[in-house]
Amino acid sequence: MSAAGRSVLLIVGGGIAAYKSLELVRLLRKAGIGVTAVLTKAGAEFVTPMSLSVLTGETVRQDLFSQADEAEIDHISLSRAADLVVVAPATADLMAKAAHGHANDLASTVLLATDKRVLMAPAMNVRMWEHAAVRRNQAQLEADGVAFVGPDEGEMACGEYGPGRMAEPAAIFEAIQGLLDGASSTPAILPPPAARPMAGKRVLVTAGPTHEPIDPVRYIANRSSGRQGYAVAEALAALGAEVTLVSGPVDLPAPAGVNLQKVETASQMRQACESALPVDAAVMVAAVADWRPRETANTKLKKAAGFGATLELVENPDILRAVAAKGPKRPKLVVGFAAETDALLANARAKLASKGCDWIVANDVSQPGVMGGAENTVTLVTPRGAETWPQASKTEVARKLAERIAAAL
């Protein structure tokens, strides 16, 4: 389902990152998504009600006890009128209120009264983000069904460095699109982890490309963005699985509730995958480079020295085949991915047989916008046959695949 024509209730918390909420509103409106804003008292110290009102085209709500606002639409109706509630920035205070059911202002009352999905984009100092109380609150919110995007790692406005920066508006926008795509079939509150179908299951997911260095400034890579793999990891975690995500170099925030391990080369990815075993299932989405230079130069190679005439390559380890190999650590279910440009089914069936895996998810990456884009069309190939799924967002593809995996296990 297209996100156009849907609506978002945006809660803007207090923090320097509040300025990013203005760009987020612009992206949403450009995509045809309606936005109503709730501005907290602290948020109003960083962005003005006028700015939000002009960009949203709607009255900005601020006060729980405003007679004018309540006469136009009461706070209970406000909490349920939109298709999705987004908190950006989600401060430590807002997270704490939501986690413990406090309702002493408009924002916290809306969060307690809503029957819709909630997406939070945290933003706070690195020490606050790493504090045990904030970690407990995030865990409770995730158990209650709240989705998270970010935070990112980087330099803070206060000068410190680490995780805590609010995700960029484009990343939050993509997360919103994914949730709106599945809003009609996703419950407002997910069951607690113990009641989820993947509870107690351990899953390995790989994602993104690998970078095989030629010298300190050049490498062999591919166009994989990692979006499909990250979406699969997040979907499996939402079903209660304990997910280890081994990721090549990508520009994506860590999925909520996932153990993210970052690597660069195919050799590093294989080592990380071997360390993650045993698991109940392995979903190998990464686009691993087939080849790497036999030798890596310690200094930048110069054209004047003849660089480029010959680059000798050697084959990289076959991670999918290694994970699928028979043995005591082989997962019960091994799912491989096949990015093809022609003969999709023939190549997918050949890969299924040669790698020893149980399923292959094949897609035609010659189609514009598939590799690196937000949507995908895949064919699930098993020994029983092939099933092509309708084009959908990568989030929806991941959700459907996660449900199939849960059923298989």
- Residues taking part in catalysis: 158
Q: Beta strands of 279-341 (E only): which ranges? A: 281-284, 291-293, 313-315, 333-340
Q: Is 184:83 a contact under the CB 8 Å cutoff?
A: no
Q: Is 381:388 a contact under the CB 8 Å cutoff?
A: no
Rama region for 164: left / alpha / beta (φ>0; ψ in -120 to 50; rest): left
Which string of DSSP letters, residue by residue, matches 221-262?
A: -----SHHHHHHHHHHHHTT-EEEEEE-S---PPPTTEEEEE
What residues does 133 pair with on adjacent strands? none
Q: Is 151:129 a contact under the CB 8 Å cutoff?
A: yes
Q: Coil, strand, or helix at residue 396?
A: helix
Distance CA 43, CA 93 (A): 12
Q: Which two tokens stand for residue 209?
A: 């490309």
Which string of DSSP letters, residue by residue, matches 115-169?
A: -SEEEEEE---HHHHTSHHHHHHHHHHHHTT-EE--PEEEE-TTS-EEEEEPPPH
Q: Which helix (H) or strand (E) holds 10?
A: strand 7-12
Distance CA 237, CA 196 (A): 10
List alpha helices for 299-360, DSSP H.
319-324, 344-355
Q: Which two tokens stand for residue 148?
A: 């998270």
> Could you check whether the bond before residue 293 is cis, i.e. omega within 30 degrees of 0?
no
What residues does 375 pair with on adjacent strands? 393
